[in-house]
Amino acid sequence: MPSREEAIASAGAKLAASDIACAQMTPREQAEAAWTPTSPYSVDEIEDRIRARRGMAPVHRKAS
């Protein structure tokens, strides 16, 4: 069983790798990877949330 410090270091390495992978994806690619059939959001909505988090304008707008 790994020590607490080893577990934290391992988790940190996995999070860093995930951040790098996400940074290399377009918002659309990231949204498609994140979407599941049980998601309350569509791929378009997830993409706009990712774009907002990146400081980008949304590309999909809800109809009024």
CA distances from 8 to 5, 17, 24, 25, 53 (A): 5, 14, 25, 26, 26
Q: Is the pTM of this model over 0.85?
A: no
Q: Can you give the residue ranges of every domain in the chain?
A: 4-53
pLDDT of residue 62: 65
pLDDT of residue 43: 97
pLDDT (tens, 9 = 90+) of the chain, 64 residues, equals: 999 999 999 999 999 999 999 889 999 999 999 999 999 999 999 999 999 999 999 999 765 4
